[in-house]
Structure formats: C-alpha cells, structure tokens
Amino acid sequence: YTGMAAAVFAPSCVSLASQTNLNWLAITIGGLTFCILIITLILSILDSRLESKTHMYAKSLKSANDQLMHMATHDVLTDLPNRLVLCERIQHAIHVSQRSKKSFAVLYIDLDGFKVVNDSLGHQIGDSLLKQVSERLKDVLRKEDTLSRIGGDEFAAVVEDLNDTDNAMGICEQINQAMILPFKTTRAELNISTSIGIAIFPNDGESVEILLHNADAAMYEVKRSGRN
C-alpha cells in the first residue's frame, strides 16, 4: 500500500493487465511452476545418486588403501608384520625403555632343517609348515609382544617390559617346548626345532640395527653350537 500510495500514474498511461487473458496467464504460470518443480525433483534425484556413488567410491578407495597399507606392512604368507614394522616396534620399545628404565629383548628365531623340508617335499608343504609355526609362536608370545617374519624361515620377536633378563630365556624355552609336537601336513608329520638368538636392550645394543645384528649373530652361534 505504501508503494501504491507513493506511485504517480500519468493520465495517458495504459495498463497491460487489462489486455491480458487471465486464464492463459494462470495456465502459463502454472506450467512454468510445474516445470520448475519437475526439474528440481530430477536434480534432487541426480544429486542423491551422485552422493551415493561418491560415498561408495570413497569407501572402496579407503578399503583399497587399507589393503595396500596392510600388504606393505605384513607378510603375505603368514600375515605377520614384516621387517619394516619390526624396526618401528623396536624403535618404539627403545623410547619406552629409556623412560621406564626397563629392558626388552629382541629374539631372532630360525627353523632348524627347514631347507631340507622345502627342497624334499616342495614349497607348498614348506608354506604350510611356516603358517603352523607362526601360529604356535603367536600362542607363546604375549599380546603386547610383536612377532614378525623377516623372510624365509626366519622370524623375530620384540618382547617388551622385562623385569629380568631371565624372562627372555623363559620365553625362548616356551618356544622350544611349543615346537616339540610334530607338525601335520598333507604329506607327512614333520618335526622341527628352533634356534634362537637373544639381544637385550641396552646391554646388547642401543639402536635398532645393532640389536637386530647381535640377535642374528647369537642365533648363528646357536646354529654353530648344535642347534635347538
């Protein structure tokens, strides 16, 4: 009303509204409104489908990235952490031990006579044996310990939070005891023993490389001295 009151119309002006067919005007407005609603509905459906596909692609991409990350950090055969993860766990254990003043052990585990089994019975039997060995090793070690397959028939473990270095010896004895029962394969029952080298932080090294090297050297000394 304010706008209308403020408007001044010249006497000679002509109103187009009086010349417009109101029925056709209503039909035209109704048709345009209906078209706009239909277009809006179609765009909404397309947007919803696009969002759904985007979510699906994002989920697939995350799953693929997770799988790639797992493959990059775990052994394909046994699904144990690989050497990369092992080194990270040793480095983490070093930091924790420096704060807590408690030691930890790096165990280097090698299977005795595995090459003979692999060469005589085939890689399939050898792979089956490695899987069973890894399961027994996991049963012996605690959940907070890290078991890794370094390669071939060699495993390594990080045993943290040791109150006494004798605890590491006790765990190694448990590992040897776990290997006494024969391993069942599709072709034969196999008896396998382990040779284990131990490096204790900080007595046997204060870095990842030195601890692994000394544990490996200790394991080879066990091999040279008669194995098991």
pLDDT in tens, 37-66: 999 999 999 999 999 999 999 999 999 999
Mean pLDDT along residues 171-194: 92
The CA distance from 130 to 133, in Å, is 5
Predicted confidence band at 180 (pLDDT cuts at 50, 70, 90)? very high
Residues annotated catalytic, as ranges: 153
Mean pLDDT of the chain: 91
CB under 8 Å to 72, separation ≥6 — which residues? Answer: 84
> Under DSSP, is residue 20 helix (H, G, I), strand (E, B) or coil?
coil
Using one digit for the tens of pLDDT, what is the confidence trace for 121-177?
999 999 999 999 999 999 999 888 999 999 889 999 999 988 887 889 999 999 999
Q: How confident is the model at residue 24 (pLDDT cuts 50, 70, 90)?
A: confident
CB atoms within 10 A of CB 164: 10
Q: Length of the chain, please? A: 228
* Phi and psi at residue 162, to the nearest 5°: -90, 125
- Residue 11 CA to residue 128 CA, distance in Å, equals 104
Buried/exposed code over 189-220 (b: 16+ C-beta within 10 A; e: otherwise): ebebebbbbbbbbeebbeebeebbbbbbebbe
CB-CB contact of 81 with 74 (8 Å):
yes
pLDDT in the model for residue 8: 83
Q: Is the pLDDT of residue 18 over 70?
A: no
What is the predicted pLDDT for the residue at 75? 94
pTM: 0.74
The SS3 assignment for 196 reads strand
Q: Look at residue 224 and tell me whether its pLDDT is greater than 70.
A: yes
Q: Pick from 168, 221, 200: which is nearest to 97 by CA?
A: 200
pLDDT at 213: 97
Between 23-27, 29-33, 49-53, 199-203, the lowest mean confidence (pLDDT) is in 23-27
Note the pLDDT of residue 220. 94
